[in-house]
Structure 1
Amino acid sequence: MLHLLKRLALLVVGPLLFLFICLAPHVCERRRGFRAWYWRLVPRACGWLLWFLSIRVEISPKATARMAQDENSIFAVNHRSHLDGFALLSNVPNEKWVTFGAKKEFFSNFFVGRGFRAAGLVSIDRARGSDALRHLATAVREMPRRRSLILFPEGTRSHSAGLAPFKAGVVIVAREAERSIRPVVIAGSDTLLPRDRKLPSPGVIRIDVLESFHCDDQATVDADLQRLQSAMSDAYEALLTA
């Protein structure tokens, strides 16, 4: 009964919260300190959404501390379902700032475009190929040390039981921007929201944050990528059996 009441409440609260997040930048973007409180509001909103959906996120104090202390990194996150971003953002500590890359087409959208810019999201022009990676690396290099770009090295939601093959972009950007990689592993989200479903089931999502991964300038990009995927795959399997 409680779960049903939460779902009904979400039908009212959800659209109002979405409108506020989308429209607040149109009204408040030029006010001093806007980005700070706005980017704190977004993770809280993600937490509220998961609460209404009766979804709980398990993450250890050690993993949270690693995020809080993290600097000069890129976050590499495996991708299982549309719940991944909400689960991760709702558990990012206040000491840590993160941001996403988004297709440049979204930035021209009236509702979300201004919010994306206000929150510091990075525009990605996929049609530019390698130039897009260089632009991304430049944007990361100019970020404050405590802010990290979140990248999904699989490129899309994985269809396989384990992690899908990684694309080279995350290592290339980390090398170009002279940053480490902070691997973040998420498990269970695809069970709650499979690709063929619109509404998630209640349940638990597990997150682990690994030690910093440092690229080896003496090795090839493929070698670094294999090393990164191996570490994240092992952590993913550990979460599944936890």
Structure 2
Amino acid sequence: MTHSTDLSKTATAAIDPLPIRLIKRVLLVVLGPFYFLYIAFVPLICVGRKGFRGWYWRTVKRACSRLLWLLSIRVDMSDANKAELRGDTDSIIVINHRSHLDGFTLMDVMPDEKWFTFAAKKELCDSPLLRTGFTGAGLVEIDRKSGSVAMDTLSKAVKDMPARRSVVLFPEGTRTKTQSLGEFKAGAVLVARDTGRTIRPIIIHDSDLLLPRGRFLPKSGTIRVEALASFHCDPEASVDEDLARLRAYMMAVFDSN
């Protein structure tokens, strides 16, 4: 209990003095809408240009990093983990889901050499403006009304991806309400087995302490991210056995920190 309490205090220790945090929040309110409108509109003009996807990928990453900086949130990942991710290929990334900060956190900490995209529900792409940006960024659009169609769409998208690009999946499906990891859905394992890719588990710690459910503005503090060694599905095992093994592997790391 003492160890857990100490970690919580470390995570929620403010990064900047109060006056600096207030100035940053004002800048976010005043300048943020203009900056993020730029992020949304630029694909309408540049999506057809050569090299757009690589440029836009880095632009969105920088936007996520600036947002966290303005919120006085630091993301920590070891240099060894970053070096390993730079060379990561032929993988599917799975991360636990603690808060709405998780996607921004992953974008901030991931090395530029490692590309990834998210699978998102089809409804997010219904807006023509958002669709252009999401398509330009390589977002995988999933229709969740049919599980089999969704899996086929996801598998095909992963097969068509270059080796250094990965899709990010949240195996818990939604933000978990428990202290440990929630139950896992089988999507990541099914796609990994179908495409022959490995699974790269990534653990996010403490994002829920900074932005718990029901809170609109996050606290200042530190989020820790750990990249685990690649997980290989066992063709001799069942999907349920692989899924249980993946969850146990990630849960052992999450619960020990």
Please tell me the TM-score bracket, short chain as reference. Answer: over 0.9
**Aligned-residue offset at 1:125:** 0.4
Letter of the 1:132 counterpart: A
CA distance in 1, matches of 2:107, 2:84: 15
Q: 2:153 aligns with which of 107, 115, 135?
A: 135
Alignment of 1:208-223 (within 5 A): 208-223=226-241
CA distance in 2, matches of 1:237, 1:204: 18
**Aligned-residue offset at 1:205:** 0.4
Matched with 2:114 is 96
- Conservation of the 8 A alpha-carbon contact between 1:104 and 1:124: yes
CA distance in 1, matches of 2:240, 2:79: 33
Q: 1:41 aligns with which of 59, 64, 87?
A: 59
Matched with 2:132 is 114
Alignment of 1:1-16 (within 5 A): 1-16=19-34
Q: What are the Cα deviations for residues 5-38 of structure 1, in whole angstroms up to 9, with x where unaligned?
A: 0000001221112101110000111111111110
Matched with 2:46 is 28
Matched, 1:167 2:185: yes
Matched, 1:53 2:75: no
Alignment of 1:135-154 (within 5 A): 135-154=153-172
Q: What are the Cα deviations for residues 37-68 of structure 1, in whole angstroms up to 9, with x where unaligned?
A: 10011111111000000000111011111211
Matched with 2:14 is none
CA distance in 2, matches of 1:65, 1:137: 27
Matched with 2:105 is 87
Letter of the 1:47 counterpart: S
TM-score of the two chains, using structure 2 as the length reference: 0.91
Matched with 2:15 is none
CA distance in 2, matches of 1:232, 1:238: 10
Q: 1:228 aligns with which of 246, 252, 255?
A: 246
Matched, 1:65 2:89: no
TM-score of the two chains, using structure 1 as the length reference: 0.97
Letter of the 2:253 counterpart: A
Give secondary structure in 1 for the equivalent of 2:145: helix
Question: Over aligned residue pairs, what C-alpha RMSD do you find?
Answer: 0.9
Give secondary structure in 2 for the equivalent of 1:216: coil
**Aligned-residue offset at 1:134:** 1.5
CA distance in 2, matches of 1:13, 1:140: 36
Q: What are the Cα deviations for residues 201-229 of structure 1, in whole angstroms up to 9, with x where unaligned?
A: 00010000000000000001111111111
**Aligned-residue offset at 1:110:** 2.8
Q: What are the Cα deviations for residues 67-88 of structure 1, in whole angstroms up to 9, with x where unaligned?
A: 1110000001000000001011
CA distance in 1, matches of 2:225, 2:183: 20
Letter of the 2:60 counterpart: V
**Aligned-residue offset at 1:94:** 1.5
Give secondary structure in 1 for the equivalent of 2:175: coil
Matched with 1:203 is 221
Letter of the 1:40 counterpart: R
User: What stretches of structure 1 of length at least 5 have no aligned partner?
Assistant: none
- Conservation of the 8 A alpha-carbon contact between 1:141 and 1:177: yes
**Aligned-residue offset at 1:91:** 1.1
Number of residues of Structure 1 aligned to a counterpart in Structure 2 = 239
- Conservation of the 8 A alpha-carbon contact between 1:134 and 1:176: no
Letter of the 2:44 counterpart: H
